[in-house]
Chains A and B, each alone.
Chain A
Amino acid sequence: MDLQQNNKILEVKNLKTYFFTDGGVVKAVDGVSFDLNVMETLGIVGETGSGKSVTALSILRLIKQPPGKIVEGEILFKGRNILDMNIKELQDFRGNRISMIFQDPMTSLNPVFTIGNQIMEAIIAHRNVDKKTAKQESLKLLEMVGIPDLKRRFNSYPHEFSGGMRQRAMIAMAIANSPNILIADEPTTALDVTIQAQILELMHELKEKTKSSIIIITHDLGVVAKYADRVMVMYAGKTVEFSDVDTIFYKPCHPYTLGLMKSITRLDEAKREHLKPIEGNPPSLIDLPRGCIFRVRCKYAIDKCKNILPPLLEIEKGHFTSCIRAEEFLSGSLKRKK
């Protein structure tokens, strides 16, 4: 299908980003593959240290080198490998075609410049416009993201903004050059519940309006269920499952995804006496176990899992998973434990 092919705006193939530290090589990202379609929202979920953020930073080549290094893989933006770009090309590209918003809006804004100043900077960096036009553009952007009392707020400093407003300003900056892809790394984790909902709704509206794509990194499966079209689940630096949101929630074929779904508390459910956790802890990324990385915590592990590191395979159309027993889950011959 040609049309499907053209629809892909970003393709990440077998990405590996390692950090070379005194204590050993930390394999933060160790085999991540996914793709992103135009106007799609992709959710990346996983626990702390599973490599979600490093994946995002790798896409923008923001990995500090040394100690970090992208050692393998391809990141294709509209067919062009980002890893082959030179510095000049990269600077044109970042914040222009792909931009990013971070978890903590206070540390990602510069405290000594006004909000307006920082948004104007983003515009002037990428477009050949004078200050006056940039200012008008910035005001328009601030209005778009719902900042009240524009004229005054334009000249405010970040510390004068509340957490929610700061994140709105960050979004204004990120969309200043109407990028094709917006990467949001835990954009609402630092915010209160009611403000969270406001920000996520804003991002969703802007995506529809500008026909762009979003990669949202989160540990909140509620957010994923609400906004994501497709989901990638990561564990210990690897893609363990990747599919559309319904498959991930209702027919997961990797035991880790399965465990994750079982362990979440739901607001619309009666109180449960005993929740089902995934026992144990994630492995150290310096010293990964042999065979399948999830094996030691897996309820479905068999002898074969000790020796084989299962590759990420497409077990049905558009559904990728890296478990040697995935076919059994799919066919129903292996029952998912209650």
Chain B
Amino acid sequence: MKDNNNRILEVKNLKKYFNLRSGFLSHRSAGSIKAVDDISFYIKKGETFGLVGESGCGKSTTSRVILRLTNPTSGQALYNGNDIFKMNNRQMFNTRRDIQIIFQDPYASLSPRMTVGDIIGEPLEIHRIGDKKIRRKKVKELLKTVGLNPEHINRYPHEFSGGQRQRIGIARALALTPKLILCDEPVSALDVSVQVQILNLMNSLQKEFDLTYLFIAHDLSVVKHVSNRVAVMYLGKIVEVAESKDLYEKPLHPYTMGLLSAVPIPDPEVERKRKRIILQGDVPSPISPPNGCRFNPRCPNAQEICSREEPELKKHAISSAEGHLAACFFAGKPI
């Protein structure tokens, strides 16, 4: 048996379907959106696990389900071995101290009517930690930790820039000294130079507080720089998962290859020599995903079997790397 003790989170066969109604007042079901359709992965203690994919692939839904901000259709999410989906309110309340979330949009995720002190102090208040004075002291410390001026405790979010707001969001997530932080596109709304500031901050906090991150993003180069392991999602499925180095150097799934190839590299000489493969077509609707492999209509390697059978996410002989899984019948074949 492999040792599973160092797995802080393990997601098994997670499904989340959103039902569609056929009309505004009708209760008849008109099918469902399979936002997350049977995915499994685990996150090791202390690592950063990257989850990448294009819009609508289900990566944000995954993070929301893990925190039970929306309920799963089926599946398990084991936090230190305990199923989050089976917890009662009391247990869930305690678990939420350990699992926090940072949102994408630092403009929408902070209440404009609350001061920074109230925003960061709210989790402490809800969990009844310390008295007012202690909480205020703690908030000031947190502001300092994330690189903001503690004197600004009485200011409102609109007085801060995007990067500073994201720091406030991070401070709020840190308030309860969590173990695991779900980061949902934490830097994609920020400018390049500010992105790097936030990534560096997250990196040093991880070391200081022994944090584990689930890092969700669509920017492959950002994910590469922060993640130890990466999973690629397409239309509600994980198509490939591997150590970051293996995934970027030797991708096995044609979608991963196409995704990597689509990103232009900020170096004119490299770009002139590089041959790019551009995936054709659009991402199909998750309401009626294609039969067989979901990627088959856009896949340059697709054969007859691909539209008939669904490939399972498994290890392939072509890659010797530990834990490198791909869901493709022709894994490793160049596109």
Contact = CB atoms under 8 A, between A and B. Distances in A.
Nearest to A146: B280
B163 A267 contact: no
A251 to B, nearest CB: 12
Given A192-B283, A194-B54, A194-B279, A271 B192 contact: no
B191 A47 contact: yes
A47 B192 contact: yes
Contact of B263 (A222, A245, A277): A222
A272 to B, nearest CB: 6
Given A222-B264, A265-B224, A277 B278 contact: no
Contacts of A317: none
A220 B264 CA distance: 9
Contacts of A274: 200, 203
B220 A193 contact: yes
A281 B161 contact: yes
B268 to A, nearest CB: 5
A281 B195 CA distance: 12
B164 A281 contact: yes
Contacts of A249: 266-268
B225 interface: yes
A22 interface: no
Contact of A221 (B162, B192, B196): B192
A296 B247 CA distance: 40
Interface stretch (B35-43, B127-135, B254-262, B318-326): B254-262
A268 B274 CA distance: 11
A164 B248 contact: no
Interface in A140-186: 162, 164-165
Interface string A250-274: 0000000001110111111001111
Nearest to B258: A194
Nearest to B266: A221
A196 interface: yes
Contacts, number: 126
A197 B276 contact: yes
A194 B224 CA distance: 17
Given A164-B282, A271-B244, A246 B54 contact: no
B191 A264 contact: no
A201 interface: yes
B67 interface: no
Interface string B196-210: 110110010000000
Given A165-B282, A197-B276, A220-B264, A265 B221 contact: yes
B225 A281 contact: no
B218 interface: yes
A271 B265 contact: no
Contact of B265 (A197, A225, A246, A260): A225
B276 A277 contact: no
A70 B146 CA distance: 41
A48 interface: yes
Interface in B192-250: 192-197, 199-200, 203, 218-222, 224-225, 244-245, 248
Contacts of B219: 265
Given A193-B220, A193-B263, A225-B265, A268 B270 contact: yes
28 contacts: A47-B193, A164-B282, A192-B54, A192-B55, A193-B259, A194-B54, A194-B259, A194-B262, A195-B54, A197-B261, A197-B264, A197-B276, A198-B278, A198-B280, A222-B263, A225-B270, A225-B271, A249-B267, A265-B199, A265-B219, A265-B224, A265-B225, A272-B225, A274-B200, A275-B200, A277-B196, A277-B197, A281-B163
4 tightest Cβ-Cβ pairs between the two chains A and B: A222-B264, A277-B196, A192-B54, A221-B266
Given A192-B283, A246-B268, 7 more contacts: A47-B192, A48-B191, A162-B282, A194-B278, A201-B278, A268-B270, A277-B194
Interface of A: 47-48, 162, 164-165, 192-198, 200-201, 219-226, 245-246, 249, 259-261, 263-268, 271-279, 281
